[in-house]
Amino acid sequence: MKRMPHLTAAIISLVVLTMALIGFNSYAQSLEQQYVNALAPLDLPQALNGSALQRAALSKPDLLPVYGSSEMLVNGGPYETEKFFATYPTGFTIINISSEGASSLTVAQNLAALGPDLKGKKVVISFTPMLFTSIVLSRYYYAGNYLSLHAYGLIFSPYLSMQLKSAAAQRMLDYPNTLQGDPILRFALKHLADSSIHSRFLYVIIWPLGELQTEVMRLQDHAEVVLYILGHRINPNVQRVPQRIDWANDLLSARAEQKLQTLSNPYGIEDTVWNHAQIRSMVLPLDPGSGDAGFLQFLKNSKEWPDFKILLGVLRELGAEPLILSRPINVHIWQAQGVSEQAQNIYYIKLNDIVNQYHMPLVDYQQYGTDIYFSIDPGSHSSPEGWVYVDQTLDDFFHGRIEP
């Protein structure tokens, strides 16, 4: 050792650095768990962009993570889920992990990055039927929601099957713009998508480098959260006000409120939305059934279905206990666009068939499709009344009253 002082110093430095990183990781996790309840209602970008706060939320028995898209972001007044459960009236609140345009593939990446922390944990997967009625997912939305940490968390996960990761890799390669400047991930995707022995061997060779890069990004994630906590005066003690919820009364109040906001049209579309000429043009009455063929073609060819199976596969292989939550198709609006209720029902049939294969609970609200006050627009975004139904569903799910 006396002949190799530089090697000795390097080894000592590496050991010290490793211990420091382990210590920081433990400190960060402790701090995140201490503050996550207070941070949950703030909708911090890092809650979406990272995994640290999501992992901390999973460790809390009174936080319910909800993964969704714009339907979880529409203002529903006091009935909006985040506001409705803000004071833990029945013993829990939600942490809203939702972003506009989020798709099954991006949510699958997000959840995969949580790994074994998902095992035995309740999570909610929320979406609208509009997600499945487009042939090609908007590249703009996918790119806008793409995060390297989550992508690496899926592709280099040691907890997911090669078959599932291969299916995800094939779809991720359809968005090459998100892979620019990332040769490690691009190389891994290319060889995962190919089932040959040679390609799988090359993936195994690159895997340690991918896992190392993942750990670096996780440390960066922890650093962002820690810096936010230390840089703001946050009281970790949140207000909890237990109370009994009168669901019937809340529903009546929300419905009355929604009626006053939809006086300009017979479809239950909010007046502020109806005033846009583009929306009015979407519901110009067309001949009944004239839009069925186009609707069914879009539904059949949507790439969201295989992505949805990838998402369900991630949930199953990681041992999560999810609730699959779809908003209802607004029957009358789609009928005005020439799509019959019979054609609309194909969406529910296909959705139920797929979810049933994974033995997961599904709530699709199909019975409320003809209720013009459930949604505020053609995209099935919830009205105050719709939010009350959603709130009651989440309450039932959290308290074990919804089974597969």
Tell me whether residue 404 is in a domain: no
Residue pair 41/93 in contact by the 8 Å Cβ criterion: yes
Q: Looking at 10-136, which runs of residues are DSSP E strands?
A: 63-68, 93-98, 122-127
Instruction: Enter the pTM of the model.
Output: 0.93
- Tell me the three state secondary structure of residue 38: helix
Residue 335 pLDDT level (bands cut at 50, 70, 90): very high
Rounded Cα gap, residues 326 and 39, in angstroms? 27
For 193, other C-beta atoms within 10 Å of its C-beta total 18
In the prediction, which pLDDT does 1 show? 45
Rounded Cα gap, residues 183 and 189, in angstroms? 10
Tell me whether residue 151 is in a domain: yes
Please state the domain count of the chain. Answer: 1
Tell me whether residue 112 is in a domain: yes
Rounded Cα gap, residues 156 and 214, in angstroms? 8
Q: What is the domain range of residue 189?
A: 5-398
Tell me whether residue 403 is in a domain: no
C-alpha angle 27-57-112 in degrees, rounded to nearest 5: 95
Residue 218 pLDDT level (bands cut at 50, 70, 90): very high
In the prediction, which pLDDT does 8 show? 66
**Could you give the angle at which helices 304-317 and 104-112 cross, rounded to 10 degrees?**
20
Rounded Cα gap, residues 137 and 146, in angstroms? 13
Cα-Cα-Cα-Cα dihedral sign, residues 159, 164, 170, 172? negative
Q: For the CA atoms of 104, 398, 84, 251, what is the dihedral angle to 10 degrees?
A: 100
Classify residue 133 by its DSSP letter. S
Among 6-20, 90-104, 165-179, 182-196, the minimum mean pLDDT is found in: 6-20
In the prediction, which pLDDT does 284 show? 75
- Residue 378 scores a pLDDT above 90: no
Tell me whether residue 139 is in a domain: yes
Rounded Cα gap, residues 335 and 321, in angstroms? 36
Tell me whether residue 385 is in a domain: yes
The overall longest dimension of the chain from CA atoms, in Å, is 90
Tell me whether residue 36 is in a domain: yes
- Residue 114 scores a pLDDT above 70: yes
Identify the helix (H) or strand (E) that includes residue 84: helix 81-84
- Residue 315 scores a pLDDT above 70: yes
